[in-house]
Amino acid sequence: MKLKRKNVGAGILMILFTVLFFILTSKFFVVASSQSAEGVDLIEYGKRKWLKSDVLDAKRGTMFDRNGEVIAQDIPSYSVIAILDKNYPNHIKDPEEAAEQLSEVLKTDKGDLEALLSKEGRFQVEIPSGRKVSYRKKEQIEKLNIPGIDFLRESRRYYPNQTFAAHVLGYTGKGEDGVQTGLMGLEKSLDKYLQEKDGKVTFLGDAFSRAIPANKESITPPKHGKEVYLTLDEKVQLYLDEAIQEAAKKYEPEKITGIVADPKTGRILAMSNYPSFNPNQKEIDNYTNFAVSYPFEPGSTMKIFTLAAAIEEGVYNGNEAFQSGSYKLPNIGRPIYDHNRRGWGTITYDEGVQNSSNVAFSKLVREKLGYEKFRNYISKFGLDQKTNIDLPNEKNGSILYNYEIEKVTTAFGQGSTITPIQQIQAATAIANNGKMMQPYVIDKIMDPETKKTVVSNEPKIKGNPISEKTAKQVRDILETVVTDGTGKSYSIDGYSVAGKTGTAQIPGKDGKYISGWGENVFSFIGMAPKDDPKLLVYVAVERPKVEFPEMGSTPTANIFTSVMKSSLQYLNIQPEAKGMKSTEKAKKTYGKELPDYTGQSAEQAKTELEKLGMQVSILGSGDDVTKQEPYEGAYVMKGERVILKTSGDVKMPDIKDWSYMDILRISKLLGLKETITGSGFAVKQSIKPGNPVKEGDFLVVQLEPPKETEPEPEENNSEEESDGTAEEDSEENLEEDVTVTD
């Protein structure tokens, strides 16, 4: 009986297990066929559980200058986070101590930081002052060993030259979708080319996101932004930035703008404004690129184009005489005056140009050229239309030409408004033998992976407003403005400069012109060398703080001469005596033509150069010269520094008291990557004297002005004063006759 019960029990269990087996098996087949269980998609669940992914960072497109130097790029950065959750092993344990340590490194308020680190109910917080810090700053924080501090790796836009062409380059910020986006300048206008797109890698991984072996990764490669090559030249731009900053610091003007162009091609080599900003910091007071977006009354620089029109039409006779001082128009109450109301008596038209006589240009346009022809030339020179330069927010000026007084005053730069870039474009016709070139700043845009050119710009002739003969004659006359007229302070030793000064008045809120010493826009447009201009430079300074008798045009002249001379030397443009075509005369007047010392004894070369009054520095442990700066054939003045390099190991010299140009020379000779801050002469250097130095090393040099008191400004003669007084161009004397527009 017992055995029978046991068999029955075993049978029941067997049947039960068999039923359960069939239920489980059928469930397995149902799950396998439907790939779901209790409404959960098992495939998707598995993907979420085991499929891992990482972002492959893409880089925003890099910007380069015309020589391939980086001027805007993405670099790694780190944001500081603090983990507050006490259930997490590594969290902030002492908010007060952590805040004290971090506040010193991040330069932030300790109390605010402590309050942030003491918040309840948060897993982690991002420290505002710790956003996008550099790797060096990250290392400093890591050395503090603060529990609970971690970092998020990101990228940020970096501009290595700080304020370098800030209004041209612009800056970036986070867009609505969190992606880095251009918000100003070329960063904004070229955003569709510069914009990057992150990639992605997916793989099967364990709970710790470690890839499971023998599983293939799925990769969506990142799309990096395009590379943009500009026409800007890093060295020329730094010359312009430096000169403008120095003038701004000393004279505290309202505005400054400067442009350097290659008149043969229309390429813009430099463009700068004041006030400026550092796009790395984005503390911006002025968003306007004055060079392209600020039309104003040009003043006497406009006379260049009136003169060219008169010469082209064959109505200009430079030897013809006229009575200067004032000029009465029919039906106009007050006459037009020269800035020197008494005039210079009876003078020739050439002298009228040299003295910036408003009477001369009024008579030219009214009595000789004619209003209709002159208006046609305004259009031919492109002064009534945008240049269409490839920069955002270009504005057009306004040509006032309805009444006779407006037609006359436009001839000498009053009433009508034009932009600096319009003047640059028009002046290329003077410098380029009649061919007017369209200005541009984007050379090419390339795909960084395929190296294919996406966009390419070439020099474009915008028109031929004048003949080659006329252009040469205008340059000859404009040279006398610098040698004998109102532009004497713009002369440069060794180079012939052709140009024209301008002193425009500024309309006030009441419609009348602002008056007072220095209450003008002082400008100059010049080209050099005069016979074959390689550079065209425009500078305008608005309302500098100058005290009588210092001229309002002084800061403009300082900027122009500094930038033009440094740029010509950098481009290896050999000096030529003004008014002299003979190389022998140039040698006698402007110094010695440097021989080729390569292959010769360095000590013998040093002795020879020192006898000529040169400063000589020898670099290297060898005996014979292998390289030299300046180059063979360059003209050097007594007291200039000549650097000779020999073979063998090179040690860094003590460059204290070296000039900006000397530092550029040694950097070029040794192939160093220099960063120069300040102005004046070297006081600090990053590579210590005596340390070994090799090509590609970074050299940082700090300059400071000399300690001695600056000399008093020399007394100017009446001709020089004439372009710097508040009355220049007689605009203040016409305020009752001219309708002024904004």
Active site residues: 300
Q: 171, 189 in Cβ contact below 8 A?
A: no
* Cα 590 from chain centre: 33
Q: Dihedral, CA atoms, 555, 558, 560, 566, nearest 10 degrees? A: -150
CB atoms within 10 A of CB 333: 9
Residue found under tokens 């992976």? 449
Q: CA-to-CA distance for 353 and 478, rounded, in angstroms? A: 8
Q: Which residue has the tokens 């009214």?
A: 366
Q: Distance between CA 562 and CA 258 in Å, rounded?
A: 12
675, 679, 677: which is closest to 687 by C-alpha? 675
d(CA 155, CA 498): 48
Q: Is 185 left (phi over 0), alpha (psi -120 to 50) or beta?
A: left
Q: How far apart are CA 226 and CA 193, in angstroms?
A: 5
List C-alpha distances in Å: 303 to 299, 528, 645.
8, 19, 50
The residue type at 569:
Q
Residues 6+ apart with CB under 8 A from 667: 673, 674, 699
Tell me if 473 sits within 8 A of 501, measured CB to CB: no
Residue in 485, 433, 484, 504 with CA at minimum distance from that of residue 740: 504
Q: Between helices 660-670 and 554-570, what is the axis angle to 10°?
A: 20
Answer for the pair 641, 669: CB distance below 8 angstroms, yes or no. Answer: no
What is the per-residue burial (b if ≥16 Cβ within 10 Å, else e) of 129-146?
A: bbebbeeebbeebeeeeb
Q: Is 294 left (phi over 0), alpha (psi -120 to 50) or beta?
A: beta
Query: At 115, which helix (H) or strand (E)?
Result: helix 110-117
Pairwise CA distance, residues 671 & 153, whole Å? 33
